[in-house]
Amino acid sequence: MEGFVRVLALLSCVAATGCASVAGGNVQKIYVQTQAQDGSAVSGADCALSNDKGVWRIKSPGDTSIVRSNKPMEVKCDKAPLPQGVVSVESGTRAAMFGNIIIGGVVGAVIDHSSGAAYEYPEMVKVVMGQMVALAFPRPPGPTHTDPSRPRNVPQPTPAQLAEPTGSGFARIDDVDVVPHLGPQGRQAYRDWITRPAPKAFALAPGGAYFPAYGLSPADTTLPSDPAQRAIAGCSRAGKVNCKMYAVNNTVVWTRDVPPAPVAVATPVAPPAVPALVPVVARPADLAAPALPPLLASGYARVDDVDAIPYISDRGRDSYRNWLSRPTPRAFALSSEGHFAATWGIQPADPAAPRDPSDRALFLCQQRSKGVPCKLYAINGAVVWTKESGRPD
């Protein structure tokens, strides 16, 4: 009789087309990010993910496929000279497990338990270097039968109803021009993202990587359902870099990177006095630079705020950083389609170009823009750009 029962159990499992297959397999992807204790991103850390099923190694930020288990997973990340970061990740029971019990019976549940297919880990793990923490598996919000403080009939808030985050004051949510790092395609994606309903989030990184997320049902099921987590994970995966959040719902949360302190330059030693009887003939390069108007600052941004410059790509921002280190007189011009020109000094390499840096910046920018109007962004140590001047149309 006992043998007959075993045969029936096996036949029921086969009829269900494989008990373990109902749960969807025992492999999942985990995305790992690393950061310092001050919140700054850390890239290139060596991370090892281990549980009773095996060990997997990646460079952060990055993802890997692991074997599910009912045991915790330990994520250890190392990058000198930072201290090691460790996260113990709890696993949770998958919803598909209960479907497997219904379809495959107890035998299917046992197979899923032993293979790990009945369990899953969080889709993203953030490791803080120098900390050792435990990460609980996220539980769905809502009342339970055993929690009398949360009655079953009272609706609970959804992510779309959560309070807006605290804004950074960097820009208005609809000010597309000042979003840093994005090219034309990224800015168009941001314009589209603005029109989407909350909950939503937009993440980006130097180099042009970005990811718009909205809603709670991602098209890519390997990404988190939470839009904020999904934006960071999707952006970091696409660009292979650590991304930062630019906006959440209808609030810009981006903060500017603090510019490095200026390097002190020693005061040049005055040349020896020339005897009065020896005539001195000034060469063109020795002539005093033309004085540019000193009070042209528009208040649009600080001159060293590279992120605030509209339209230009990261290549243009690198050129602007280099321009900031050049001596005055100097000028920087750009167009609404990302063309730019950086000039300094009064001796142009092209004799046909104007000697005045402001005129020369406009002259060179117009040559490159092929008819798109260029405007001055900065002169010497002041930003002269205004919203009105930046929109020639």
Q: Is it the case that residue 281 has pLDDT exceeding 50?
A: no
Residue 162: the pLDDT is: 43
pLDDT digits (tens, 9 = 90+) for 86-112: 998 888 866 555 555 444 555 555 555
Burial 294-308, CB ≥16 within 10 A → b, else e = eeebbebbebbbbbb
Of 342 and 120, which is predicted with more confidence? Answer: 342
Topology (CATH) of 2-135: Immunoglobulin-like (2.60.40)
pLDDT digits (tens, 9 = 90+) for 241-267: 889 999 999 899 988 764 444 444 555
Least confident of 100-104, 154-158, 166-170: 154-158
Residue 283: the pLDDT is: 43
| Residue range 286-313: mean pLDDT, rounded | 72
Mean pLDDT of the chain: 77
Q: HSE of 159 in the Cβ direction (CA atoms, 13 Å)?
A: 17
The Cα–Cα gap between 303 and 324 comes to 8
Q: Is it the case that residue 298 has pLDDT exceeding 60?
A: yes
The Cα–Cα gap between 239 and 168 comes to 24
For the chain, what percent of residues have pLDDT higher than 90?
A: 32
Structure tokens that stand for 170 in this block: 């960097």
Give the confidence band of 150 by pLDDT, cuts at 50, 70, 90: very low
CATH 2.60.40.1120-classified regions of the chain? 2-135
Quick one: which H or E segment has residue 303?
Answer: none
Q: Is it the case that residue 63 has pLDDT exceeding 70?
A: yes
The Cα–Cα gap between 151 and 133 comes to 32
Q: Is it the case that residue 373 has pLDDT exceeding 80?
A: yes
Structure tokens that stand for 100 in this block: 């497997």
Q: Is it the case that residue 187 has pLDDT exceeding 60?
A: yes
pLDDT digits (tens, 9 = 90+) for 13-47: 544 444 444 455 788 999 999 988 777 889 899 99
Q: Is it the case that residue 388 has pLDDT exceeding 80?
A: no
Q: Is it the case that residue 5 has pLDDT exceeding 90?
A: no
The Cα–Cα gap between 40 and 378 comes to 30
Cβ-contact 117, 24 below 8 angstroms:
yes
Dmax over CA atoms of the chain, in Å, equals 127
Calculate ∠ Cα 138-139-145, nearest 5°: 165
Range ranked top by mean pLDDT from 108-112, 156-160, 190-194, 356-360: 190-194
| Residue range 186-191: mean pLDDT, rounded | 94
Q: Is it the case that residue 121 has pLDDT exceeding 70?
A: yes
Of 138 and 245, which is predicted with more confidence? Answer: 245
- Torsion sign (Cα): 22, 27, 31, 32: positive
